[in-house]
Structure 1
Amino acid sequence: MGPASAAVSRIGLAAIGSRGDVEPLLVLGAALHDRGHDVLFASSENMRDAAEKAGLRFHPITPATPDDVLADPEFRALLRRTTSPGRIARAMPRPTVEQRRSTLAELVAATADLDVVVHTPHTRAAVWAGPAPARWCTAALWPVTPTKSAPAFGFPALGPFNRTTYRLVAAGEWRFFREAVAAVRADAGLPPLSRPPGPPVGHHVLHPFSRAVFPVPGDWPDTVHVTGHWFGPGTGPDPDLAAFVAGGTPPVVATFGSTWVVDPDRALEAALAATRRARRRLVVVGGPETSLPDEVLRVTDADFGWLFPRAAAVVHHGGQGTTAAALRAGVPQVVVPGFADQPYWSRRIAGLGVAAAPIPLPELTADRLGTAVAQVVSDPGFRTRAEALAGAVRAEPGVEAACRVVEGLS
């Protein structure tokens, strides 16, 4: 990691959401700290230990988390039936106005008196709720800048009307936060807002994904930075995992991240059947605790940077972080997307020839997964293409480039 800029800056990073939503910001925060900056990390309480271990100051935020949302049995049942963004958005349990007010107030307090603040799309409404920080930027795990070449996430391609979809997203975001923003501003004695102020001129956006996977639209301004993925240093394997991996042919790895809770038994049964069909051993990361055969090892967590390069293939849910780790490893993939950005990334990597055709979570069967796993482990073209793409992913500057952008704002 390169040296810090001459002056030490007080930098805040605000991130809430799933582990996959938050960890890239934690990687960025750790890198900025290593470059000599005073870094505050504002997130949910479950990130405290990781933030403090990285040397960051921590400020707890109490949002509704993905675990809270997925605790709703009716919502989980819907996710077993559809991947439609519209149906999912309409049915998703929402925090109350008071919960939103509390979260925004905590974010405003956490990011006060800092030189630079890095917000995510999930936290940037705090800029409306309080005095705007002098300098701030957005870090988004999916494309958020309007372009004529593609619609906003969740919308079908609309040709000349693609840009309009981004205005619809912004309007929906304002409707969601408007009452909570008004309450926080009133509490602070600030005047009300009739509409959300747009980002300042020259606002910078950081995208921690690969240009090799997402070609940068020609109509994006040069203040939008597709840096490459932000990878942390890793922790290595625990002894049981290292021994299992070394004890035979490369295993298939199955991990479904936050979507395990949607249909854990079916996902595990499909993974077991698929790897039996492919005559492969299996490492399961997460999922239900149950009795498993000798050729299967379950671990609660793993360093994907160590494990994935040693795998025959990776079966996963299509979350951005897991997808990035598999891309860097140069390993064939099978993706079972559920919601949010998962369908998008699953289509992209299948289109690049490094993954089988996606199997939407509601359509998951042992037979379909078995066919897909057998396809990617038996056809050497998948690994050849994956290894070539991995070279491009590893060559990108990633978190180093993001640090330079943030330092340039201070």
Structure 2
Amino acid sequence: MDNILYRVLQSFILPENDMSKAFWRLCELLARQGQQELPDTFPPETDEQLQHLLEQMNNRHRSQSRSGESETATTETTSNSDPTPLDAASGSSNDFDVQTLKSSISNLSQDNGPMLFDDNSASIINFKPSEPLRITCLTIGSRGDVQPYISLCKGLLEEGHRPRIATHKEFEPWIRGHGIDFAPIDGDPAELMRICVENGMFTYAFLKEASSKFRGWIDDLLSSSWKGCQDSDVLIESPSAMAGIHVAEAMGIPYFRAFTMPWSKTAVYPHAFAVPDRNLGGTYNTLTYIMFDTLFWKAISGQVNRWRKKELGLQNTSLDKMQPDKVPFLYNFSPSVVPPPQDYPEWVRVTGYWFLNEGSEWAPPSELVAFIDKARADKKKLVYIGFGSIVVSDPVAMTKTVVESVMKVGVRCILSKGWSDRLGDAKSTKAEIALPPEIHQITAAPHDWLFSQVDAVVHHGGAGTTGASLRAGVPTIIKPFFGDQFFFGSRVHDLGVGMCMKKLNVAAFTRALWEATNSQRMIIKAKLIGERIRQEDGVGKAIQSIYRDLEYAKTLTLLRRTASGHPSTDAEDENLEDFLDGIEESWTFVGDEIFPKTQDPKSELKALIDGAAAGTLPPLDDDGEEDVAC
């Protein structure tokens, strides 16, 4: 035999080489696949044993070649030249036996067996930091804005980190009850919710009232955020909190954004606060993000820059310097509900919902259990109706509309009437109408338990509540009031798993209730999307995304600090040099927009900073979600 294989792979198969074990395991696998006997000494340990094995292989291939020629000669004319051993080996590939191959793999020892990846997201690289991190999650708003962070922090606790949630004081007992550290943030979420409902989210009327009533509140929010994020190694913020990107810059720590609604520029979806009545196309969608960022920053930039100078010791900044589009972003909604657009950059990740599963430890009241059992015994469809903690001007009228619609459709209803509990006007003090026996009122219940008990869910369209009802696999009716609720109402409608009601009156509500409890097409679609959502691990994927993008986030903060004139430490300078070395090796640039043709390192650094400020600096290379280790 011509030792071609040996000569080509000589550096890999020498006995003293560490790769030899893997190579000889491959030989063993191929031999067993061909139902061939192995020599007594295998794998070979000396050069003599190796040469003896190669001679055996040579003789065996020659024998197979002669046997194959005599069989073939009876049916067809063959070439006069003898086939090489490699030809004979390739000719025997027709006898490939899949079952033998599988059996051979299973017979290999655990220590020396091949490493197989049957998951396209598998990676041999471990991105998890070697030391525990102090991670602060900064958010403002309602219960639905806080709940996903509790779930994320519970996952971070399991990973050995020390998470903290900085938010409104009223949520402290709930957060600490899950073993998570807490820091208070000033501001009244109910007052903010009231002007959102009455004026619309970020409309002219909203900005006018907010500018007169919320200037002091924003100052308090910024200052308390700075205090609440101290002693942190990583900061994750809902961008509505406004302070995080500046706090991270002042502290020199990695900064992430996380949100329940689309906030990153795309042509596929409009901004969640600018959803039109009909589809206006990609140009409109893209402009909504640009206009929103510009107007929102214009409204708060004066206060923010005064705060930066007074408390953080930073220079003034702008949208161009902050580069919010470059910040690594975690979206905690399902890709089955909001498929990630292809124009999202690689540092924007749709992880799946961050569900807080509290139903397994919750004991339902006996009255509620009896009501559910009676509805099932009477063969009546059961619906849940609740609009969260929204604030309405006439809660009595809303209750009356709900009661009349339920009675007309003939369903049973579990009612969570939270709309008269927070900051209603004088009408909210009026006596409520009596509820019929077909409606059972509750104060609170965990969604993961409650929604699995009913046939349809009616709510306001908050991101978390929408995710919970879709995960339950039941049709969803949404009556949005402000903000992202209109966006998720349109998604439910477009997916065919529910309806979005623009107005809440008896006629519209009655029709929606009947269809949600009787349309088999809608029921089946809701069931299918529920199955997909239940298979996702949003928290796990979010934590892995944080690990993967941690160095990128750290580099962005460093560049932001340097661009604003903040004095850098020796460690920061070393990190920046490592970053420069990394991009020189892994990137190819066309033109000299970032690095001019100069031998002066300081000039190169200045050009890098200018490129970052101009938004032309790409992120660190990332494996991506679909990479396969090999």
Q: Offset at 1:267?
A: 2.4
Q: Does 1:131 find its partner at 2:271?
A: no
| Aligned equivalent of 1:359 | 501
Which residue does the alignment assign to 2:485? Answer: 342
Task: Read off the aligned partner of 2:454 and give its amino acid letter.
Answer: A
Partner SS state of residue 304, structure 2: helix
| Residue among 391, 396, 399 paired with 1:265 | 396
Task: Name the residue aligned to 1:374.
Answer: 514
* Paired letter, 1:182: N
Return 27-36 or 93-102, whichever deviates more: 93-102
Q: Structure 2 residue aligned with 1:173, among 266, 275, 296?
A: 296
Q: How does 1:106-255 map to 2 (within 5 A)?
A: 106-128=224-246, 131-155=250-274, 156=276, 157=280, 159-160=282-283, 162-188=285-311, 190-196=313-319, 197-199=321-323, 203-235=327-359, 236-239=362-365, 240-249=367-376, 250-255=381-386
Cα deviation code 1:210-234 (max 9, x no counterpart):
1111121111112111011111121
1:318-337 correspondence to structure 2 within 5 Å: 318-337=461-480
**Structure 1 counterpart of 2:501, one-letter code:** I
User: Counterparts of 2:452 and 2:129 in 1: how far apart (Å)?
Assistant: 35
Cα pair distance change 1:123/1:299, threshold 3 Å: same
Partner of 2:78: none
Q: Is the 8 A contact 2:457 2:477 kept in 1?
A: yes
- Please point out which of 22, 30, 44 is paired with 2:168: 44
The percentage of counterpart residues that share the same residue type is 27
**2:435 aligned with 1:292, yes or no?**
yes
Partner in structure 2 of residue 15 of structure 1:
139
Q: Which moved more, 1:281-290 or 1:48-57?
A: 281-290
Q: For residue 387 of structure 1, what is the aligned residue in structure 2?
A: 527
> CA 1:213/1:90 → structure 2, altered by over 3 Å: closer, same or farther?
same
Higher-Rg member (1/2): 2
Count of paired positions: 398
Question: Residues 117 and 133 of structure 1 are in contact (CA less than 8 Å); yes or no, is this contact kept in structure 2?
Answer: no
SS of residue matched to 2:307: helix
Q: 1:189 to 1:395 in 2, by over 3 A?
A: closer
C-alpha separation between the residues in 1 aligned to 2:281 and 2:518?
Answer: 38
CA RMSD of aligned residues (A): 2.5
Give 1:353 shift.
1.1
Call closer, same or farther: CA 1:23–1:133 in 2, change over 3 Å.
farther
Counterpart CA distance in 2 for 1:200 and 1:85 is 19
Aligned to 1:104: 222
Give the deviation of 1:369 after TM superposition.
0.3
| Aligned mates of 2:465, 2:325 — CA distance in 1 | 34
C-alpha distance in structure 1 between counterparts of 2:209 and 2:522, whole Å: 36
**Cα distance in 1 between the residues matched to 2:447 and 2:316:** 45
Distance in 1 (CA, whole Å) between partners of 2:516 and 2:202 is 28
> Is contact 2:447-2:468 (8 Å) kept?
yes
Partner in structure 1 of residue 444 of structure 2: 301
Deviation (angstroms), 1:71: 4.8
CA distance in 2, matches of 1:321, 1:262: 24
Q: Give the AA of the match of 2:343.
A: D
Aligned-residue offset at 1:375: 1.3
Cα deviation 1:26-63 (Å, max 9, x = unaligned)? 22112212322111110001110111111111110012
Distance in 2 separating the partners of 1:150 and 1:53? 37
Equivalent position amino acid for 2:218 in 1: R
Q: Which amino acid aligns with 1:138?
A: R
Give the structure-2-normalised TM-score.
0.59
3-state SS of paired residue (2:355)? coil
Structure 2 residue identity aligned to 1:275: V
- Secondary structure class of the residue paired with 1:212: coil
2:543 equivalent to 1:403:
yes
Deviation at 1:290, TM superposition (A): 5.4
> Aligned with 1:58: secondary structure?
strand
Picking from 460, 472, 479, the partner of 1:317 is 460
Q: Indicate conservation of the 8 Å contact 1:16/1:43, yes or no.
A: yes
Residue number in structure 1 paired with 2:99 = none
* 3-state SS of paired residue (2:390): helix
In 2: Cα distance, 1:251 partner to 1:4 partner: 46
Assess, with a 3 A threshold, how the Cα gap between structure 1 residues 114 and 84 changes in structure 2: closer, same or farther: closer
Aligned AA for 1:246? D
Residue 387 of structure 1 deviates from its aligned partner by: 0.2
Go from structure 1 to structure 2 and tell me whether the alpha carbon gap of 1:217 and 1:276 turns closer, same or farther (over 3 Å shift).
same
Matched position secondary structure for 2:136? strand
Counterpart amino acid of residue 251 in structure 1: L
Shift, 1:258, TM fit: 2.7
Letter in 1 for 2:299: F
Residues 62 and 103, structure 1, Cα contact 8 Å, conserved in 2? yes
CA contact (8 A) 1:4 1:35 kept: no
Task: Note if contact 1:112-1:133 (Cα within 8 Å) is conserved in structure 2.
Answer: no
Distance in structure 2 (CA, Å) of the matches to 1:285 and 1:323: 16
Pair 1:198–1:272, CA change in 2 (3 A): same
The residue matched to 2:264 in structure 1 has which SS? coil
Structure with greater contact order relative to length (CA < 8 Å, sep ≥ 6): 1
Instruction: Decide whether the 8 Å contact of 1:70 with 1:262 is kept in 2.
Output: no
Are the aligned partners of 2:403 and 2:435 in contact in 1 as well (CA < 8 Å)?
A: no
Three-state SS of the structure 2 residue aligned to 1:60 is strand
CA shift for structure 1 position 70: 4.4
Which structure carries more helix by proportion?
Answer: 2
Q: Structure 1 residues 376 and 162, CA, compared in 2 at 3 Å: closer, same or farther?
A: closer
Residue equivalent to 2:387: 256
Which is further off, 228-237 or 139-148? 228-237
- 2:531 is paired with a residue whose SS is helix
Write the distance in 1 (CA, Å) between the matches of 2:143 and 2:155.
Answer: 18
